[in-house]
Amino acid sequence: MRPVELSKNVYWVGAVDWLTRDFHGYSTERGTTYNAYLIIDEKVTLIDTVKSGYCHELMHRIRNIIDPKKIDYLIVNHVEMDHSGSLPQVVQEIQPEKIICSKMGQKALTQHFHQPDWPYHVVTPGEELRLGPNKTLSFVETRMLHWPDSMFSYLKEDQILFSSDAFGEHLASSERFDDEVNQDVLMHEATKYYANILTLYSPIVKKLIAQVEAMHLPLKMIAPDHGIIWRKNPKKIIDAYSRWCVNESNGKALVIYDSMWHSTEMMAKSIAGGLQDKGISYKLLNLQVNHHSEVMCDVLEAGAVILGCPTLNNGLLPRMAGFLMYMRGLRPTNKIGAAFGSYGWSGEAVKLMNTAMSEMNFRLIHPGLRVQYVPEHGQLQECVELGHIVGQALLDAKAGNKAV
């Protein structure tokens, strides 16, 4: 349980969680980390803590560098429990001179831990905090990225941005830096993280990136609260966020569906055939075998989302209903949309899916296809035609150099 040095007198002292597989509905097959950072100067400073249950790991790493009682400042960039669950234990042990947080951070900390007498020190955006002759911190307010309390801390001399939840990913590993891990895995997990946590806040991400660029902060490293530290190529993740926050389309189509007795599945495959005829790259994603958080990873950059579901009890199959609720919460935008599904006697599913997509401002380019019971050849040909229509819309969007 060694700490890892980022630069002189700056250390990663967090914890690696190899076990967690669910993060309130987000599947974390590769586990995660809770990153915390120790800065040594005249004032010894700990940035963030770890989830409850991992405090011993944090303290063990700190003790390899310094007696925890020598920590003067404790910075809380974000109050969510995966970073503050061990805070009462840490405060008890180190008795910090100051607990540094945003204004909303103080409010949230008080409402979480009910300790009004903790030595809070609220920082304002742009405020500088001298830790000694060699280290100076400043703070960037990042309200609603993704909680009201969220903020970044920037270490001036070392040019390190401690970015809280932003720019992170859920990835447990023995490695700590971007140049030490598989790039495909890293970017997949970073994409999934943005898709499932930050999509809703894309307009704020866009403003924040512009704000940080305008500040002209020299940046050697981005050190988030989850996953790896970007030291070789921090620009790679900033560029990715710049794409994601403006809903840039990759021109691909997704056929996301559930099926009862394979009729809707037959329709899905015929629609995929129509997309193929147009040379469109697509994925068929059956919700029975694809977790909604993985599906959202594909939705993030997709140009078209085609939803399929049969009607059950005048409504949707539960997996599609749950997926729609989840997707609607994250509010992806700038998509072409269409719906299809089989039914027995009432057939409301297509209308329900269309309504949900309209509420997300998807551009519906077809009233929707319904088939009673089992599709025959002509009806499957109509599904192929739907694939052609969506495919052509994607080609037109590409030719017009716009997302959808």
Residues forming contacts to ligand FEO in the complex (CB under 6 A) are 78, 80, 82-83, 146-147, 165, 225-226
Cβ-closest position to ligand FEO: 80
Residue 377 annotated to the active site: no
Q: If you search the block for the tokens 């309130």, which residue do you land on?
A: 24
Cross-strand partners of 255: 284, 306
Chain centre distance of CA 141: 19
Cβ(31)–Cβ(16) under 8 Å?
yes
What CA–CA distance (Å, rounded) separates 386 from 338? Answer: 8
Please pick, among 54, 73, 193, 241, the residue that the annotation labels catalytic. 193
Residue 26 annotated to the active site: no
Residue 226 annotated to the active site: yes
Closer to ligand FEO by CB, 226 or 366: give it. Answer: 226
Residue 72 annotated to the active site: no
What CA–CA distance (Å, rounded) separates 99 from 71? Answer: 11
Please pick, among 83, 170, 226, 292, the residue that the annotation labels catalytic. 226
How far from 331 is each of 110, 125, 216, 232, 300, CA to CA, in Å? 31, 29, 31, 32, 10
Q: How far is the CB of 58 from ligand FEO (least distance, A)?
A: 15
Q: What is the DSSP letter of 316?
A: E
What CA–CA distance (Å, rounded) separates 224 from 70? Answer: 24
Please pick, among 34, 37, 78, 366, the residue that the annotation labels catalytic. 78
Cβ(162)–Cβ(6) under 8 Å?
no
Residue 258 annotated to the active site: no
Q: If you search the block for the tokens 């902060």, which residue do you land on?
A: 217
How far from 92 is each of 54, 89, 95, 177, CA to CA, in Å? 15, 5, 6, 31
How far from 336 is each of 242, 263, 356, 397, CA to CA, in Å? 21, 23, 13, 10
Closer to ligand FEO by CB, 78 or 370: give it. Answer: 78
Closer to ligand FEO by CB, 61 or 226: give it. Answer: 226
Q: How far is the CB of 128 from ligand FEO (least distance, A)?
A: 26
Closer to ligand FEO by CB, 17 or 225: give it. Answer: 225
Which tokens hold the place of 81? Answer: 């429990």
Please pick, among 72, 80, 157, 382, the residue that the annotation labels catalytic. 80
How far from 45 is each of 69, 98, 129, 319, CA to CA, in Å? 11, 10, 11, 46
- Amino acid of residue 103: K
Residue 78 annotated to the active site: yes
**Residue 87, SS3 per DSSP:** helix
Please pick, among 17, 48, 57, 165, the residue that the annotation labels catalytic. 165
Closer to ligand FEO by CB, 147 or 177: give it. Answer: 147
Closer to ligand FEO by CB, 94 or 198: give it. Answer: 198
Which tokens hold the place of 203? Answer: 């307009």
How far from 165 is each of 20, 80, 145, CA to CA, in Å? 17, 10, 8
Q: How far is the CB of 78 from ligand FEO (least distance, A)?
A: 6
Cβ(259)–Cβ(311) under 8 Å?
no
Q: How far is the CB of 18 from ligand FEO (least distance, A)?
A: 17
What CA–CA distance (Å, rounded) separates 305 from 112? Answer: 39
Please pick, among 82, 141, 189, 258, the residue that the annotation labels catalytic. 82
Q: How far is the CB of 251 from ligand FEO (least distance, A)?
A: 32
Residue 83 annotated to the active site: no
Closer to ligand FEO by CB, 23 or 385: give it. Answer: 23
Q: How far is the CB of 75 from ligand FEO (least distance, A)?
A: 15
Residue 29 annotated to the active site: no
Q: How far is the CB of 35 from ligand FEO (least distance, A)?
A: 9
Q: Which residues belong to the active site?
A: 24, 78, 80, 82, 146, 165, 193, 226
